[in-house]
Amino acid sequence: MEIARALCDTMGIRCEITALQFPEVLDLLDRNAADFAVASILKTPERMKKYLFTDRHKRSSSSYIGRAGEWALGVAPDLPGKRVSVTRGSKQYDYLTAKNVGCTIAIYDDQAEALRAVLDGRVDLALAPTAVTVHLLTSAEGEALEVVGDPLTESGLGGESAIALPLGREELRDRVNMALRAILADGRYDAISSRFLPFRMY
């Protein structure tokens, strides 16, 4: 939301910014009911047929999150027979479904709930965007959790994320790109990122 505000300020426009669960963001774009979405949307060949994308605004990966002390350090988890939580409509869900690795997929509408399911013992692991897990992992509650294995970027689990717009909005896309380049150049992007994450997103 802070990145979105900085973009709107730079473009000199007043924006109505709404926080939504991920599937709702894509639904608004599908219905041309949002002008643009700053929601860590991976640029994939499939999505590039449905939406316009700006330049990259972050790099992303995905990570398995499990309860601390239950997994071998630095080793990818053995998934057959495990319950793994994901967010509905996510690339993480697509990945596990396509891989057919023998795990049971637990689907949640909210990313925070998908992660909380690990804490509560409802699932063995969560597969989530790495950046999304940072807030929980660095909290007191998150001390009971850990990253299992290395972050993943294969098969759509990571790569370049960008701001998405409905098709046909090339003029607005170009304005957003100019604003994005401006906040990257003057340090505002890094200043916002450092308030929420212990690493650079870009």
Per-residue pLDDT reduced to its tens digit, 24-80: 899 999 999 999 999 878 888 889 999 999 999 888 889 999 999 999 988 999 999
Between strands 62-67 and 125-129, the pairing is antiparallel
Alpha helices (H) in 42-125, listed in sequence order: 45-48, 91-99, 111-119
Compute the average pLDDT of residues 123-135.
91
Q: What is the DSSP letter of 190?
A: H
Question: Residue 202: which pLDDT band, with cuts at 50, 70 and 90?
Answer: low
pLDDT-based confidence at residue 199 (cuts at 50, 70, 90): low
b/e burial code for range 144-183 (CB count within 10 A of at least 16 → b): ebbbbbeebeeebbbbebbbbbbeebeebbebbbebbebb
Written as one letter, the residue type at 136 is L
**Residue 162 φ then ψ, to 5°:** -145, 170
Helix or strand run (H / E) with residue 63: strand 62-67
The answer to whether residues 52 and 170 touch, using CB atoms and an 8 Å cutoff, is yes
pLDDT beyond 80 at 201: no
Residue 149 belongs to what H/E stretch?
A: strand 145-152
Q: How far apart are CA 167 and CA 51, in angstroms?
A: 5
* Residue 136: how many other CB atoms lie within 10 Å: 20
Give the end-to-end CA distance of the chain in Å, rounded to a whole number.
16
pLDDT band at 198 (very low <50, low <70, confident <90, very high): low
Percent of the chain with pLDDT over 70: 97
pLDDT given for residue 131 in this prediction: 81
Q: How confident is the model at residue 89 (pLDDT cuts 50, 70, 90)?
A: confident
Flag whether pLDDT at 116 surpasses 90: yes
Say if residues 126 and 115 touch (Cβ distance below 8 Å): yes
Mean pLDDT value of segment 1-20: 95
Q: Give the model's pLDDT for residue 17.
A: 94
User: Mean per-residue pLDDT for 132-157?
Assistant: 88
pTM of the model as a whole: 0.65
